[in-house]
Amino acid sequence: MKNKPLAVQIWLVFSGVMTIILCIVILLIPLLVRPFLVQDTYTRISEAQTLISNRQDSGPGSGKPFRTKDNGVVHHLLLVNGEWIAPPSSLTRLPTEFLATAQGQALLQTEEAKQYKTEVGQQTLYYIIRVQQMEGQDFFLLSYASDTYQQEFISSLIRQLFSMTALILLASFPFCYWLSKYLSRPLVQIEQHVQRLAERDWNKPLLLDRKDEIGRLAKSVERMRRRLVKQDETQRTLLQNVSHELKTPVMVIRSYAQAIQDGIYPSGDLSQTVEVIEKESERLERQIQQLLYLTKLDYLATQELTTRSVCIADITHDTVQRLRWRRPELEWEINIPDIRVEGDEEQLRTALENILDNQIRYARQKIWVSGGETEENGAHALQLRLGNDGPPIPPESIQTVFEPYRKGTSGQFGLGLAIVKRIVDLHHGKIGIKNEEMGPVFTMQFPSDKKTR
């Protein structure tokens, strides 16, 4: 059914619901209506007997049937001195066993009138036996009617229900068609918008003022469009920054190489000129490695992270020992307890290297690293604080310092902190930065592998 047009689907569902309701009603009609019809039958029989009693001038034995106003027929028999008096058609219609049973019931009856019911062949007979007197003689008046009227009434009611249901189903198709158009119109609009997004045309916003599920879908598509626009802007910025940052060392290397070929040494002598080329080559290599690593992290974000227990104190001390030679004059203060986290050791080491590299670049005299346990939402976490006594970070840069391709105040290519942010996110951690009295401080928080007791 899902491959049919929406109007047909709605109509089929509506038809199915109506059919189920009709079946339930058909099953309930006999149960609900029959008691009323039975009581109505007894009422008709009683009224017919009253009419007989008021027409004593007809005399016993007339047996003439009296038709009630709704075409139901009530027949009458008289039991006088043990003999049934009725038209021959009435006596031949009734079995002898029934007449004998009715005679016994009449003789045992103590009430003036009493209701009875019995099965005769395929029919149910409802009858009332009433004690009467005429010309000083007692006799019994038996009036009966079959359930034919009840069956015809119920059958007629069911046929009318079938007819009404068929008319409702036929009349409902235009409504279902209109409803499908009403529901599908915004869906078609969303579909067209998504097709434009697939063609990289994401400048026009999707405007649907609805509060229902379709409205929420439209808002989700609009959020996706905005993220695509932002991603496109980021990619454009990437191309601009990458082309500029890679072009600079390449131009220096080429110009110095050409100068050497021409016998010119821009840095004084051959050794110093070659040293400049080597430094620019290292810079170019570092930028390429950062770009590749950032791309790798983007891929790993779509995969399940393979983790193991990592001692943050160990990798912090190792990283400090490897990097402190860059500025031997700096004072280091390390205070990290032996706390372990679940994570990828290589990624965590890279994150610490990039942050410490940033600290070394801006510190005046001192860098400090401290850590400790904290608890959040019932779970233990490790918090690292890395600070230096360098200049404060401009307020406008605090919000963008972790964005890719941002340059620092020294003009360095801004991928290091973006890599740190990606790694922290992959480990379900948090990272932030703020200016304190001593200087700027980075704060990283990772879930600890220690469980809350």
Terminal alpha carbon distance of the chain:
54
pLDDT at residue 194 greater than cutoff 60: yes
The band of 413, judged by pLDDT with boundaries at 50, 70 and 90, is: low
CA separation for the pair 280, 270 (Å, rounded): 16
pLDDT in the model for residue 65 = 41
List the one residue out of 167, 229, 183 whose CA is nearest residue 202: 229
Cross-strand partners of 442: 386, 433
pLDDT in the model for residue 366 = 93
Task: Give tens-digit pLDDT for 5-60.
Answer: 777 788 888 888 888 888 888 888 888 888 888 898 889 888 888 887 776 544 44
Q: For the chain, give the mean pLDDT.
A: 82
pLDDT in the model for residue 204 = 85
Helix (H, G, I), strand (E, B) or coil at 110: coil
Residue 54 corresponds to which tokens in the numbers above?
Answer: 């008021």
pLDDT at residue 203 greater than cutoff 70: yes
What would the mean pLDDT of 212-232 be, rounded to a whole number? 87
Contact by Cβ (8 Å): 185, 72: no
pLDDT at residue 62 greater than cutoff 70: no
List the one residue out of 6, 38, 397 whose CA is nearest residue 188: 6
**Range name among 26-35, 319-328, 403-412, 422-431 with the lowest pLDDT average:** 403-412
CA separation for the pair 423, 290 (Å, rounded): 13
pLDDT in the model for residue 157 = 86
Residue 82 corresponds to which tokens in the numbers above?
Answer: 């043990």
Q: Among the ranges 65-79, 179-193, 395-409, which has the highest mean pLDDT value?
A: 179-193
The band of 197, judged by pLDDT with boundaries at 50, 70 and 90, is: confident
In Å, what is the CA distance from 405 to each residue of 250, 290, 301? 19, 11, 19
What would the mean pLDDT of 352-362 be, rounded to a whole number? 90
List the one residue out of 245, 246, 276 whose CA is nearest residue 260: 276
The band of 406, judged by pLDDT with boundaries at 50, 70 and 90, is: low
The band of 302, judged by pLDDT with boundaries at 50, 70 and 90, is: confident
Count CB-CB contacts under 10 A for residue 183. Answer: 14
Domain definitions of the chain by residue range: 6-153, 213-298, 304-447
The band of 410, judged by pLDDT with boundaries at 50, 70 and 90, is: low
Q: Is 406 or 105 the better-scoring residue by pLDDT?
A: 105
List the one residue out of 350, 14, 211 whose CA is nearest residue 358: 350
Count CB-CB contacts under 10 A for residue 424. Answer: 21
Q: Is 147 or 88 the better-scoring residue by pLDDT?
A: 147
What would the mean pLDDT of 279-289 be, rounded to a whole number? 85
DSSP-derived secondary structure for 230-280: HHHHHHHHHHHHHHHHHHHHHHHHHHHHHHHHTT--TTSSHHHHHHHHHHH
Domain covering 6-153 assigned CATH 3.30.450 in the classification: yes
| CATH number belonging to the domain at 304-447, selected among 3.30.565.10, 3.40.50.620, 3.40.640.10, 3.40.50.300 | 3.30.565.10
The one-character DSSP state at 339 is: -
What would the mean pLDDT of 206-232 be, rounded to a whole number? 85
CA separation for the pair 61, 40 (Å, rounded): 26
pLDDT in the model for residue 11 = 80
pLDDT in the model for residue 211 = 81
Architecture of domain 213-298: Orthogonal Bundle (1.10)
3-state helix, strand, coil in the chain (%, to 5): 55, 20, 25
Query: 203-209: long-range contacts at Cβ-Cβ below 8 A with a sequence spacing of 24 or more?
Result: 203/229
List the one residue out of 212, 447, 235, 215 whose CA is nearest residue 341: 447
pLDDT in the model for residue 301 = 79
